[in-house]
C-alpha cells in the first residue's frame, strides 16, 4: 500500500479537514504522481455536499491535478520519473466498448471510474487530488508542457477539456456566433477557446462586475442576463450556446437566442433540471444537448493546443488550509476565475 494524506470530507456538511489514507500498490501500467497543484472545480463542491445524491465518504475531492512522476510500473511506456503530468476527471474505463475504442472514454458504455468517490476495479474507493499523491493507470495521465505556468494548467484538466470538447464537436470557428453562459471556471475557459477558434463570442453573465474581464478574456459582446431587453435583442442569432452555470436558472431566453437548427449544449450540472418550453425547440428545430469532459486523446490535444497558443486559466492560488473558504466564494460566483491549491501547503 502507498501512504497518502490530504483533505477530505467525512460527510455532506462538515468542512474538509486533514485526512490520512492509503492508495493501491503500483501495478504494471500505473504511474505514481507527486501532486503539486490541484484546481477547485464546482463539481468538487456538488460532490462534497452530496448535491447529486451519489456521494461516498470519506471523500478527498480534486480532479484538476498537476504533478511530477515519482514512480512508474514495469509496463509503463509513456512516462518516466520526473515528467510533468496531469490527471483529470476519470481514472479508468473499460477500453473495449465502442465509445472507448473511438477515444471517447468519457462515454464508456460499461461505466467510467471517476478520480474520486467511486470504487475502482480493485474494489478501492478512489480519492482525488487534494492530496500529496495519486496512483493512476498511464492511459489516464497526460503530458504537460513545462512552457506554461503549471498552476494555470491545472484547471485545463477539467474546466479546459469540458469546454474545448463541445466547442470542437459543434465546430465553433470563424463566422460563427457563439454564446457562453456563466463566467466561472468553465465559462472563462470556454470564452478563451471560442475566441481562440475565431468565433464571434458573446459572454452572458449575471455579474456586472465581470464585464471588463469578459472583454479582456476575449468576448466581443457581454450581455447581463438579468436584463430582459438585452436578452431579447439576441433572439434568433446564435449558432451555438454553451451553458456552464452551476445553479438552476431559466434557459428559455437562451433557447430563443438560437438560430434555426442551432444547438444549446449543457456542461453545467445543477442539482435540479430546467423547465423547457418545447415551443422553443419545435418552432426553430433547435437542439438541447450536453457534453462531459473529453476523451483522453482529445485532452492531450487540448493541452498541446494550449502550450502552442499560450493558453492557461486565470487562477487565484490558495493554500489547502483556505479550501473551505474558497468553496464558499465559488458558490457566490466570486472567483477570478479558478482557485488552484498549491500543494506545498499540505506539508509532508
Ligand atoms: P463556477 O466557477 O462556480 O462557475 C459557475 C458560474 O455560473 C458562476 O461563476 C456564475 O457566473 C454562474 N452562476 C452561478 N450561479 C448562478 C445562478 N444562480 N444563475 C445564473 N448564473 C449563475 O463553476 P464551474 O467549476 O465552472 O462549474 C460549472 C458547472 O459545470 C458545475 O455545475 C459543474 O459541476 C459542472 N461541470 C460539468 C462538467 C462536465 O463534464 N459536463 C465538468 C466540470 C464541471 P456569472 O457570475 O458570470 O453569472
Ligand atoms: Zn471538474
Ligand atoms: Zn468503455
**Residues 248-280: tens digit of each pLDDT:** 999 999 999 999 999 999 999 999 999 999 999
Assigned CATH topology for domain 160-290: Rossmann fold (3.40.50)
Q: Where in the chain is the domain with CATH 3.90.180.10?
A: 2-158+313-346
Question: What pLDDT shows up at residue 289?
Answer: 98
CA atoms of 297 and 300, how far apart (whole Å): 5
pLDDT of residue 302: 98
Report the alpha-carbon distance of residue 178 to residue 21 in Å, rounded: 45
Cell of 1: 500500500
* CATH 3.40.50.720 domain span(s) along the chain: 160-290
User: For residue 198, how far is its CA from the centre of ligand 2 (angstroms)?
Assistant: 25
Length, in residues, of the chain: 348
Q: Which residues surround ligand 3, an ion (CB under 5 A)?
A: 93-94, 97, 100, 108, 110
Cis amide leading into 49 (omega within 30): no
Residue nearest to atom 36 of ligand 1 (CA): 268
| Predicted local confidence at residue 348, as pLDDT | 86
Second-level CATH architecture of 2-158+313-346: Alpha-Beta Complex (3.90)
Enter the C-alpha cell of residue 115: 478520480
- Mean pLDDT, residues 153-170: 99
Q: Span 327-341, mean pLDDT?
A: 98
- Please report the atom of ligand 1 found closest to the CA of residue 187: 26
| Ligand 1 binding pocket includes 42 (Cβ within 6 Å) | yes
pLDDT single digits (tens) 190-236? 999 999 999 999 999 999 999 999 999 999 999 999 999 999 999 99
What ligand has the least distance to the C-alpha of 243? Answer: 1
Mean pLDDT for the stretch of residues 123-135 = 98
The percent of residues above 70 in pLDDT, for the chain, comes to 100
Distance (Å, rounded) from C-alpha 120 to C-alpha 285? 41
Q: Taking residues 87-110, report their average pLDDT.
A: 98
Max Cα separation, the chain? 62
Give the HSE-up count for residue 111: Cα atoms under 13 Å, Cβ half-sphere.
6
Q: CA 121 to CA 210: how far, in whole Å?
A: 44
40 lines ligand 1 (CB under 6 A): no
Cα gap 290→146, rounded to integer Å: 32
pLDDT of residue 110: 97
Three-state DSSP class for 193? helix
Quote the mean pLDDT of the chain. Answer: 98
pLDDT score of 145: 97
Amino acid at each position: 500500500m502507498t501512504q497518502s494524506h490530504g483533505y477530505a470530507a467525512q460527510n455532506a456538511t462538515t468542512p474538509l479537514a486533514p485526512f490520512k489514507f492509503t492508495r493501491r500498490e503500483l501495478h504494471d501500467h500505473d504511474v505514481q504522481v507527486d501532486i503539486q497543484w490541484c484546481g477547485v472545480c464546482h463539481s468538487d463542491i456538488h460532490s462534497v455536499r452530496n448535491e447529486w445524491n451519489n456521494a461516498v465518504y470519506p471523500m478527498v475531492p480534486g480532479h484538476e491535478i498537476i504533478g511530477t512522476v515519482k514512480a512508474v510500473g514495469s509496463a509503463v511506456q509513456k512516462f518516466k520519473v520526473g515528467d510533468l503530468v496531469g490527471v483529470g476527471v476519470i481514472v479508468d474505463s473499460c477500453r473495449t466498448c465502442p465509445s472507448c475504442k473511438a477515444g471517447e472514454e468519457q462515454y464508456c458504455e460499461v461505466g467510467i471510474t471517476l478520480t474520486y468517490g467511486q470504487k475502482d476495479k480493485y474494489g478501492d474507493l478512489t480519492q482525488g487530488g487534494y492530496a500529496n499523491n495519486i496512483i493512476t493507470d498511464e492511459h489516464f495521465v497526460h503530458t504537460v508542457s513545462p512552457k506554461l505556468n503549471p498552476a494555470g494548467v491545472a484547471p485545463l484538466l477539467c474546466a479546459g477539456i469540458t469546454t474545448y470538447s463541445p466547442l470542437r464537436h459543434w465546430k465553433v470557428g470563424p463566422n460563427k456566433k457563439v454564446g457562453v453562459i456563466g463566467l466561472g471556471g468553465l465559462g472563462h475557459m470556454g470564452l478563451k477557446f471560442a475566441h481562440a477558434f475565431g468565433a464571434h463570442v458573446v459572454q452572458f453573465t449575471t455579474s456586472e462586475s465581470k464585464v471588463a474581464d469578459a472583454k479582456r478574456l476575449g468576448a466581443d459582446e457581454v450581455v447581463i442576463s438579468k436584463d430582459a431587453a438585452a436578452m431579447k435583442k439576441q433572439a434568433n442569432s446564435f449558432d451555438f450556446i454553451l451553458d456552464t452555470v452551476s445553479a438552476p436558472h431559466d434557459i428559455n431566453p437562451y433557447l430563443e437566442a438560437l438560430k434555426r437548427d442551432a444547438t444549446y449544449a449543457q456542461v453545467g450540472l445543477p442539482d435540479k433540471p430546467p423547465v423547457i418550453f418545447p415551443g422553443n425547440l419545435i418552432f426553430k428545430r433547435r437542439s438541447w444537448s450536453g457534453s462531459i469532459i473529453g476523451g483522453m486523446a482529445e485532452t492531450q490535444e487540448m493541452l498541446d493546443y494550449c502550450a502552442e497558443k499560450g493558453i492557461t486559466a486565470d487562477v487565484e492560488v490558495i493554500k489547502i488550509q483556505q479550501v473551505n473558504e474558497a468553496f464558499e466564494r465559488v458558490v457566490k460566483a466570486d472567483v477570478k476565475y479558478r482557485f488552484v491549491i498549491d500543494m506545498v501547503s499540505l506539508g509532508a
